[in-house]
Structure 1
Amino acid sequence: MNNNILDFAIIASGIIGYFTSISLISSSFYKNRANNYLSLSLFLLTSLTLLGWFDIENTVLDFLNNPVLEYLVAVTLFSYFLIQIQHKYLQKSWYKWLYLPFIASFIIETIVYLDSIFNIYNSVFNDLIFHVMDNASFIYNVFLIFWSRKLVKHSNTISEDKKRWLLRLNFFIICIILSWLLSNIEFYVFDSEYTSNLLWISLSFLSWWILYYGVFKLQIIVQKDEIHKYLVTKKANSTSTKRKINKATVSNIISKLYELMDEEELYKNPLLSRLDIATRLGTSERDLSQVINQETNKNVIQFVNEYRIKAAKELLHDPVFNKYSVEAIGMESGFKSKSAFYNAFNSSLGMSPGAYRKFQKTS
């Protein structure tokens, strides 16, 4: 009964893995160069999971089983991380040589496979060759995944949100490699395969994790960064306009606050707190709250969210940003989460951001 449940879970994860890998290269929302490599990596990992879980010995599929695919997935994952951080290694001539272990293993596996079927070479070294290739593929994967982790950690070309996500994905893959190591130790030392089950289950879980958390969340971050870069460029190329402040009626604190919001766009910091604002203005939180309430009849959160909603409305109204998701626009406007964005927007305008965008298109 338990085996049947695990079989079903592995098959379901395999379907999700293949579906996700296809979606990454076919959907305009996800399609980009980095996701092409992620798609191939996920396709290979899903295939390795299904080939490893189910008995495919003495079939043509046995040829595709490890370690051939393991060499290829190591390079595709490494390439994915390099593209995400826009690393200069991608332009190096030696980069293509990383595929050499895969090509060599493919040739060797072809020779060994033909020998096992037709007994052409009568080789007694087939098992030895397989174990050497298998252990070498493990070392190769460890080397590239830790190398990519180091490069991501020291990268200064990406946002902290994106770096955090990439390191999280990298750590998950390291956990899978650890399961791989334990399964090899168990197999060679104790001649059992209990840990192997953990490895295949971990690999299958990766498909769900990438689909429900990784791919979508990362794409939101990517879109938010693209929007931000566009706005920064647009602002740099245009003349800045300052809010006209009536010094007779607006306090000095409010005057400085407007400058921080209009010129520095302080509201775009999702972690912005009342203390942060008060510190920048050289006043206390209590005085800040009192002045904002007296001058605008709002509390600090309402005051900041008013700026964020205004920024979101401008982005939702501009057709340039139609290709970007509502959540990415909310993040760029300074909201910490999708729920906070939707709640504030709906409270202010009586409709969701998506409904507002549709309304603007039809009006």
Structure 2
Amino acid sequence: MIYTTLLNIAIFQGIILGIIILKSPLFKSIANKYLAYAIFTLSILLLNLVFEISEAFNTISFLRFFDHIEWAFLFPVFIFLFVVNQANHPVKNSKKLLWFFVPFSYSVIISILNTSYTVTDMYNITDLGIKLFEILNYIELFLVLTFIPAILIYTYSFIKFSKDEEEKQWLTLLCIIVSILLFSWVIAILLAIFLHYDILYVMKIIALFAAFLIHWTAYIGVYKYKLAKDKGGINILLNNSLLILNNDMSTEVIIKKESFTPDNQYFKKLEELCENQEIYKDSTLNREKIAERLGISTGYVSQLVNTVTGENFANYINQYRVEAVKKMIVDPEYENYNILALGLESGFTSKTTFYKAFKKVTGMTPNNYRNSQK
């Protein structure tokens, strides 16, 4: 009873942690998205064990379908995608990575076939059909023994591309723990097959280790600021702004808007970059570049600008560009310049975008504004 309760707590924490990572602007990045998916997958693996212990599979036979799926195929894939995106390696954009989901897809198909087989009259299954099922299951076992170790080794090879030493340590330790967890699971499977060993006790130990992984990720990843670059924002999130409300089994994550004010240190830095360094003149400027300069996530940049100014990021930057054009229009030095040239000089990338933004801010076209200043 105590053991099942501990697992249920770990499952619940894994789901909550995954939701926080996906929904909070402080953690919004492609890398963290895959980490959240990995945590969700690990929670499903633990949930299947809870169903096994509580004999829920005997009561609700349909749940066997989910138990037959080898979720362990999916877990290391998400860890791999997390690592390559966190290290920002170019391979993250390769479409060939979709092949990594083939073993899991195969497992789903096998689960469907096995479920159909168990509900079919045994006398309607030929010897050839039984042999075919056995071959398909052996192929799945072969994938377990080859694919999981291979992708774990492949994942290690990308950690070195991380530019931050502290991040390398975090990724290395994460991969070591994941490897121990999955290799222990593979060994348990082999014991069950070749030695006919009852692995339920072993699986319980592995499950506790998996529960530890979720707790460790929550502590190191969140409280030690390894999942987001914005340390100040994390403090706000954890100490002042994050409320987790559990009301009738529904959970909501709320970030107080009071933390996003004109006095926010990152907003002040953004204004300084625009007003003093005129970064808006860079026509390729985007949220990613701003986030990198400020040391925060792109999601945090959007949330900050939206809340403080009431405008989206593009409109906020365009306002600075429009003001720059207005100053040049009244400056005699630019008297003979073409209006469009002034717009391009200020960071606009096209005539359409320039004219639309200028009229939005001033209520008139650039030419009309120039004429009104004569």
Q: 1:161 aligns with which of 158, 166, 171?
A: 166
State how far apart, in whole Å, the 2-side matches of 1:139 and 1:318 are.
Answer: 49
Question: Which residue matches 2:57?
Answer: 57
For residue 207 of structure 2, the aligned residue among 200, 203, 224 is 200
**Aligned ranges for residues 113-132 of structure 1 at < 5 Å?**
113-119=115-121, 121=125, 123-125=129-131, 126=133, 129-132=136-139
Seen in structure 2, the aligned counterparts of structure 1 residues 215 and 121 have a Cα distance that, compared at 3 Å, is: farther
Q: Within 5 A, what are the aligned runs for 1:227-246? A: none
Do residues 7 (structure 1) and 4 (structure 2) align?
yes
Secondary structure at 1:222 match in 2: coil
- What TM-score do the two structures reach when normalised by structure 2? 0.55
The yes-or-no answer on 1:142 pairing with 2:149 is: yes
Post-superposition CA distance 1:162-217 (Å, at most 9, x none): 11101111111011023213322432315222322211111121111111222442
- 1:67–1:133 contact (8 Å) kept in structure 2: no
Q: d(CA) in 2 for partners of 1:91 and 1:107?
A: 27
Instruction: For structure 1, list consecutive stretches of 5 or more residues without a partner in the other structure.
Output: 227-313, 323-331, 333-363
Query: Alpha-carbon deviation of 1:318?
Result: 5.8
**C-alpha deviations, 1:51-90, integer Å up to 9, x for none?**
0243243522221125432222222111111111111212
Q: Aligned pair in 2 of structure 1 residues 139, 66: CA closer, same or farther (>3 Å)?
A: farther
For residue 268 of structure 2, the aligned residue among 300, 311, 319 is: 319
Equivalent residues of 2:156, 2:172 under 8 A apart: yes
Q: Give the number of aligned pairs.
A: 231
Q: Which SS does the other structure have where 1:65 is aligned?
A: helix
Question: Aligned to 2:130, what secondary structure does the other structure show?
Answer: coil
1:319: how far off?
2.6
- For residue 124 of structure 1, give the secondary structure of its aligned residue in structure 2: helix
Taking the aligned partners of 1:41 and 1:65, their CA distance within structure 2 comes to: 17
Secondary structure of 2:88 counterpart: coil
TM-score (norm. length: structure 1): 0.57
Alignment pair present for 1:179 and 2:184: yes
Aligned-residue Cα RMSD (Å) equals: 2.9
Report how far residue 127 of structure 1 moved.
5.4
CA apart distance, 1:107: 1.8
Amino acid at match of 1:203: A
Matches within 5 A, 1:307-346: 316=265, 319-320=268-269
The amino acid of 1:57's aligned partner reads F
Letter in 1 for 2:26: F
Change (3 A) 1:321 1:7: farther
Offset of residue 104 of structure 1: 2.2
- Percent of counterpart pairs with the same letter? 19
CA displacement at 1:146 relative to structure 2:
1.6
Question: Does the aligned pair in 2 maintain the 1:149–1:170 contact within 8 Å?
Answer: yes
Q: 1:87 to 1:41 in 2, by over 3 A?
A: same
2:350 maps to none
CA distance in 2, matches of 1:136, 1:40: 21
Measure the CA separation in 2 of the matches of 1:225 and 1:141: 38
Instruction: List per-residue Cα deviations over 1:113-145 (Å, max 9, x = no partner).
Output: 112123475542445643541452243122111
Larger relative contact order (Cα-Cα within 8 Å, sequence gap ≥ 6): 2
Q: Deviations over 1:233-253 (max 9, x none)?
A: xxxxxxxxxxxxxxxxxxxxx
Residue 229 of structure 2 aligns to a residue in which SS?
A: helix
1:75/1:144 contact within 8 Å kept: yes
Partner of 1:84: 86
The answer to whether residue 22 in structure 2 is matched with residue 16 in structure 1 is no
Tell me, yes or no, if the aligned pair for 1:13 and 1:208 is still in contact at 8 Å. yes
**Alpha carbons of structure 1 residues 158 and 127: separation in structure 2 relative to 1, 3 Å:** same
Q: 1:151 deviation in Å?
A: 1.5
Q: Which residue identity is paired with 1:211?
A: A
2:221·2:227 contact (CA, 8 Å) conserved in 1?
Answer: no
User: Unaligned regions of 5+ residues in structure 2, if any?
Assistant: 234-262, 272-294, 296-374
SS in 2 for 1:57: helix
Q: Is contact 1:67-1:134 (8 Å) kept?
A: no
